[in-house]
């Protein structure tokens, strides 16, 4: 600028400095915005995230990880990762990823909380080398629990199917090996086979029913049902069993008629299962009482029966699939152990709940709460 007047030189310089300052300011602002964006993304993630640099210091942990590991986000920044995590397995993984510049993935159960994490550690690499590692923690505890329940269920089903089948096969073998000529015992063998086959049939039917109500595949056709009519129709199919045990039955509902908004087929099933138990676990000359009443917010239906009742320790587990109080005794009377879990699912699908009581083990009482229609 040799020919430029001195004033314009200074003005030009001033303008350049001003625009450089503006650019710098804009760059700083963009950098801050990008940093805020990254922080916002990390905070909105469902997974726990930690970033560790090559000096083995924690750069950041997001809130999810902070909560899961009881870490104070501000106190962890800048500390060594092994001071922060205090878990041998996790620290080994970070060390390996940092020194080997490799990605690692492992499932790890935490000793204290019992939570199970799928941990993914990836190195942050560029041409200049490694900058650190990012560790992502997926909480897979619920998934693990589901897996466990499923395999437990399969094991239970297999066991339940195997018991009657083994017995059937055993008696068929006995008959084949000459038992058929044994006029005195063959009738008894056949009766056992028939009984076990009926048990298998009942178990399979119950399993199919449970899967139908549990999956929600079955559509409920809710309509106004006259409860007293429904109970009497259920009771009619237990007439013989009730008469055989000389059980007194009473139905006492208020007001009359008592309407519930429910699906006929499934509600009939629920009351059939409850009645079946009320007869099965009753004693001769016992009684069964059905009551129903309205409350300000809901309606209640109770099925109470005399008999040996249910021990307090078993009460919380009574609605579990295959749970029986006394395995040998109820096996004899032929229950699949699925009846009450079917009832529970049916009632819950009607937005209700079912509770059980057995005060002093003098009989059992099942109370259903249904929303007011």
- Positive/negative CA dihedral, 158, 162, 165, 169: positive
d(CA 76, CA 78): 6
| Residue 278 to residue 363: CA distance in whole angstroms | 9
* 335 scored as a contact of ligand ADP (CB under 6 A): yes
DSSP letters for 273-331: HHHHHHHHT--TT-EEEEEEEE-SSEEEEEEEE-SS---TTTGGGTTSTT--SSHHHHH
CB of 116 to ligand ADP, least distance (A): 31
Nearer Cβ to ligand ADP (216/316) = 316
Residue closer to ligand ADP by CB (options 128, 360) is 360
Stretch that binds ligand ADP, among 173-181, 209-217, 259-267, 336-344 (CB under 6 A): 336-344
**DSSP 8-state secondary structure symbol assigned to residue 56:** S
Cα–Cα separations (whole angstroms), residue 53 to 4, 49, 56, 59, 66: 52, 14, 5, 7, 18
Smallest gap from Cβ 79 to ligand ADP, in A, equals 54
Using CB under 6 A, pick the residue from 260, 336, 347, 350 that binds ligand ADP: 336
Question: Does residue 350 interact with ligand ADP by CB under 6 A?
Answer: no
Q: Which of 51, 235, 247, 340 binds ligand ADP (CB under 6 A)?
A: 340
Q: Which residue number, 62 or 269, has a Cβ lying nearer to ligand ADP?
A: 269
Query: Closest approach of Cβ 282 to ligand ADP, in Å?
Result: 7
> Which residues touch 356 (CB under 8 Å, ≥6 apart)?
310, 315, 318, 319, 364, 365, 366, 367
Q: How far is the CB of 310 from ligand ADP (least distance, A)?
A: 5
Candidates 97-105, 214-222, 241-249, 333-341: pick the segment binding ligand ADP (CB under 6 A): 333-341
Among 323, 357, 367, 369, binds ligand ADP (CB under 6 A): 323
Q: Does 305 bind ligand ADP (CB under 6 A)?
A: yes
Q: What is the dihedral of CA 291, 273, 241, 231, to 10 degrees?
A: 40
Residues at the site binding ligand ADP, with contacts judged by CB under 6 A:
273, 277-278, 281, 305, 307, 309-310, 318, 323-326, 330, 335-341, 364
């Amino acid at each position: 600028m040799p020919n430029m007047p001195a004033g314009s030189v200074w003005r030009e310089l001033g303008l350049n400095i001003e625009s450089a300052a503006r650019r710098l300011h804009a760059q700083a602002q963009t950098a801050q915005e990008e940093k805020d964006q990254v922080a916002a993304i990390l905070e909105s993630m469902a997974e726990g995230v930690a970033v560790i640099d090559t000096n083995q210091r924690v750069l950041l942990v997001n809130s999810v990880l902070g909560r899961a590991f009881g870490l104070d986000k501000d106190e962890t920044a800048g500390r060594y990762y092994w001071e922060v995590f205090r878990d041998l397995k996790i620290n080994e993984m970070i060390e390996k990823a940092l020194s080997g510049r490799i990605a690692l993935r492992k499932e790890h159960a935490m000793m204290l909380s019992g939570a199970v994490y799928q941990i993914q550690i990836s190195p942050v690499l560029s041409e200049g080398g490694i900058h650190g590692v990012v560790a992502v923690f997926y909480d897979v505890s619920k998934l693990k629990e589901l897996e466990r329940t499923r395999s437990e269920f399969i094991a239970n089903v297999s066991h339940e199917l195997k018991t009657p089948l083994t017995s059937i096969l055993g008696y068929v073998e006995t008959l084949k090996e000459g038992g058929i000529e044994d006029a005195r015992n063959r009738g008894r063998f056949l009766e056992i086979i028939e009984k076990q086959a009926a048990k298998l049939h009942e178990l399979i039917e119950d399993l199919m029913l449970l899967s139908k109500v549990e999956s929600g595949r079955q559509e409920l056709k809710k309509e106004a049902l006259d409860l007293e009519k429904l109970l009497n129709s259920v009771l009619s199919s237990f007439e013989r069993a009730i008469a055989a045990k000389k059980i007194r039955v009473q139905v006492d509902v208020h007001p009359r008629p008592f309407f519930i908004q429910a699906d006929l087929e499934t509600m009939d099933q629920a009351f059939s299962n409850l009645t079946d138990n009320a007869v099965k676990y009753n004693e001769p000359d016992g009684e069964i009482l059905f009551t129903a009443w309205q409350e300000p917010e809901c309606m209640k239906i109770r099925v109470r029966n005399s008999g040996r009742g249910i021990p307090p320790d078993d009460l919380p587990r009574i609605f579990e699939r295959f749970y029986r109080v006394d395995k040998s005794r109820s096996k004899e009377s032929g229950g699949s152990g699925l009846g009450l879990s079917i009832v529970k699912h049916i009632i819950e699908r009607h937005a209700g709940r079912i509770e059980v009581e057995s005060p002093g083990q003098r009989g059992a009482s099942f109370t259903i709460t249904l929303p007011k229609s």
